[in-house]
């Protein structure tokens, strides 16, 4: 018993000195704005790329965040469509990060790409820069659905880009897929899923199409020009999708994320485990363990602020211990590993237990209660957000 306590306190001490952390870089450029996408991205602004690179390098150089207690283990270049940037631009960003931070412990370095917008030579350049994970925005293999989603790539380009990624040396590849798209049949979705599985990627993100306010799709639905699939169907597809992926060796480790053993996205796990991360680029959000902050959601304002010597940060909020605990609960429930009970402060345990009892009464048979974790079973995952709200303090 004594030995166990000693091991525990050593782990805690190490943890409190060096917390696992990540870096997020947001590249806002896209060739076309997709009708469903609410991420900050803009089309037809490629001419601003050189100024943007200078600005983001300056943002990195002037960042005053104290990261001396962080163990930087992941970098994620997301967007937008980062693969629109040639290798030398990505290199400028990486060099700026290297000058500023200790990147020797980076174990996962991802870049997002769109099929047809990531030529072989560029992928080779990315790989030689140390990027070791590629996330491909496939969404669908069905030409009509790609057209509906206003994607500009073809089905063939999905296979070609994947082949190029493998020959460029990438051994860790993710496919982003979307299902529950208006007009999509289960047969088409199942076919796409099986075709994607046949390529043996390391990771699959399968998202149900979300209707985001402020998108073109939202307007179509509001005007009655498009109908979204009914909730019952979405729930049934969700369970069947999880079943197919699991039986093919890709169990879910988060509601929409599936991986072969050991290939879970370490960067996203930082977000869901409420670990810290730096963030650079327009609209990028960061977290230092106590506060969250976000940059302006405008390329022009972002560049202007930095060029005139000002910070691009447009919002910052300190989280109370209660806020942080609620985040642990909300994000924890979305993961297979569940809520880590050891992270709930003692002063909230009573209230948490009371909430747990009422959730068990209201939602029958959705929770898995273990000694050190609370998680949701497959059926419960469908209602993760609602159960999370009921469980929060």
Ligand X SMILES: C[S@@+](CC[C@H](N)C(=O)[O-])C[C@H]1O[C@@H](n2cnc3c(N)ncnc32)[C@H](O)[C@@H]1O
Residue 82: closest CA among 165, 163, 25, 160 = 25
State which residue has the least CB distance to ligand X. 137
**139 is a contact residue toward ligand X (CB under 6 A):** yes
Closest to ligand SF4 by CB, 30 or 335: 30
The partner in contact with residue 156, picked from ligand SF4, ligand X, none with C-beta cut-offs of 5 to 8 angstroms by kind, is none
Residue 256: closest CA among 190, 337, 178 = 178
Residue 172: closest CA among 103, 263, 89 = 263
Gyration radius of the chain over CA positions:
22
Say how far apart CA 60 and CA 139 lie, in whole Å: 32
Closest to ligand SF4 by CB, 115 or 332: 115
Residue 232: closest CA among 240, 224, 243, 221 = 240
The partner in contact with residue 207, picked from ligand X, ligand SF4, none with C-beta cut-offs of 5 to 8 angstroms by kind, is ligand X
Angle in degrees, 0-180, between the axes of helices 346-362 and 384-391, rounded to the nearest 10: 130
Structure tokens at 218: 């939202």
End-to-end C-alpha distance for the chain, whole angstroms: 33
Closest to ligand SF4 by CB, 43 or 239: 43
Closest to ligand SF4 by CB, 20 or 295: 295
Question: Which region among 204-212, 234-242, 291-299, 312-320 touches ligand X (by CB under 6 A)?
Answer: 204-212
Structure tokens at 55: 């600005």
Closest to ligand X by CB, 85 or 392: 85
Judged by CB under 6 A, how many residues of this single chain contact ligand X?
15
- CB environment 173-211: b (16+ within 10 A), e (fewer): bbbbbbbbbeebeeebbeebbeebbeeebbbbbbebbee
Beta bridge partners of 351: none
Residues 6+ apart with CB under 8 A from 145: 139, 181, 183, 184, 188
Say how far apart CA 189 and CA 327 lie, in whole Å: 32
The partner in contact with residue 275, picked from ligand SF4, ligand X, none with C-beta cut-offs of 5 to 8 angstroms by kind, is none
**239 and 380 in contact (C-beta within 8 Å)?**
no
CB of 139 to ligand SF4, least distance (A): 8
The partner in contact with residue 212, picked from ligand X, ligand SF4, none with C-beta cut-offs of 5 to 8 angstroms by kind, is ligand X
Task: Give the residue, chosen from 210, 219, 233, 320, that forms a contact with ligand X under the rule CB under 6 A.
Answer: 210
CB of 351 to ligand X, least distance (A): 34
Residues 170-189: x where in contact with ligand X by CB under 6 A, - otherwise, as a string: ------x-x-----------
CB of 176 to ligand X, least distance (A): 3
User: Interface residues with ligand SF4 (CB under 6 A)?
Assistant: 30, 33-34, 37, 39, 41, 79-81, 114, 137
Closest to ligand X by CB, 382 or 391: 382
The partner in contact with residue 33, picked from ligand X, ligand SF4, none with C-beta cut-offs of 5 to 8 angstroms by kind, is ligand SF4
Within 70-129, which residues bind ligand X (CB under 6 A)? 79, 81, 112, 114
Beta bridge partners of 358: none
Say how far apart CA 393 and CA 322 lie, in whole Å: 7
Q: Which residues bind ligand X (CB under 6 A)?
A: 36-37, 39, 79, 81, 112, 114, 137, 139, 176, 178, 207, 209-210, 212
């Amino acid at each position: 018993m004594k030995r166990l306590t000693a091991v525990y306190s050593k782990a805690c001490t190490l943890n409190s000195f060096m917390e696992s952390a990540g870096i997020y870089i947001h590249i806002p450029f896209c060739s076309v704005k997709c009708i469903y996408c609410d991420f900050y991205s803009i089309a037809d602004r490629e001419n601003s790329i050189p100024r943007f690179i200078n600005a983001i390098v300056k943002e990195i150089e002037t960042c005053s965040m104290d990261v001396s207690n962080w163990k930087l283990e992941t970098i994620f270049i997301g967007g937008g469509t980062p693969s629109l940037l040639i290798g030398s631009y990505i290199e400028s960003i990486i060099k700026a990060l290297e000058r500023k931070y200790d990147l020797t412990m980076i174990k996962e370095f991802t870049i997002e790409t769109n099929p047809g917008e990531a030529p072989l030579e560029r992928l080779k350049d990315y790989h030689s820069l140390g990027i070791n994970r590629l996330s491909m925005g496939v969404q669908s293999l069905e030409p009509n659905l790609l057209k509906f989603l206003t994607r500009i790539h073809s089905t063939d380009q999905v296979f070609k880009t994947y082949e190029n990624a493998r020959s460029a040396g990438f051994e860790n590849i993710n496919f982003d897929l979307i299902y529950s798209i208006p007009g999509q049949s289960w047969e088409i979705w199942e076919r796409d899923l099986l075709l994607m599985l046949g390529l043996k990627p390391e990771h699959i993100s399968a998202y149900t199409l979300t209707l985001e306010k402020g998108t073109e799709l939202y307007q179509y639905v509001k005007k009655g020009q498009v109908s979204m699939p009914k909730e019952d169907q979405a729930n049934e597809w969700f369970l069947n999708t999880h079943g197919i992926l699991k039986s093919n060796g890709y169990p879910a480790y988060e509601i929409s994320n599936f991986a072969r053993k050991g290939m879970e996205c370490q960067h996203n796990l930082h977000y869901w485990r409420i670990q810290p991360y730096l963030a650079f680029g327009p609209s990028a959000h960061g977290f230092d363990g106590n506060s969250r902050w976000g940059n302006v959601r405008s390329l022009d304002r972002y560049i202007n602020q930095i060029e005139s010597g000002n910070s691009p940060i447009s919002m910052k909020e300190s989280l109370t211990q209660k806020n942080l605990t609620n985040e642990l609960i909300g994000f924890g429930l979305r993961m297979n590993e569940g809520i880590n009970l050891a992270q709930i402060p003692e002063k909230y345990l009573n209230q948490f237990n009371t909430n747990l009892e009422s959730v068990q009464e209201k939602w029958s048979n959705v929770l898995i209660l273990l000694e050190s974790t609370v998680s949701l079973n497959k059926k419960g995952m469908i209602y993760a957000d609602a159960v999370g709200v009921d469980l929060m303090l």
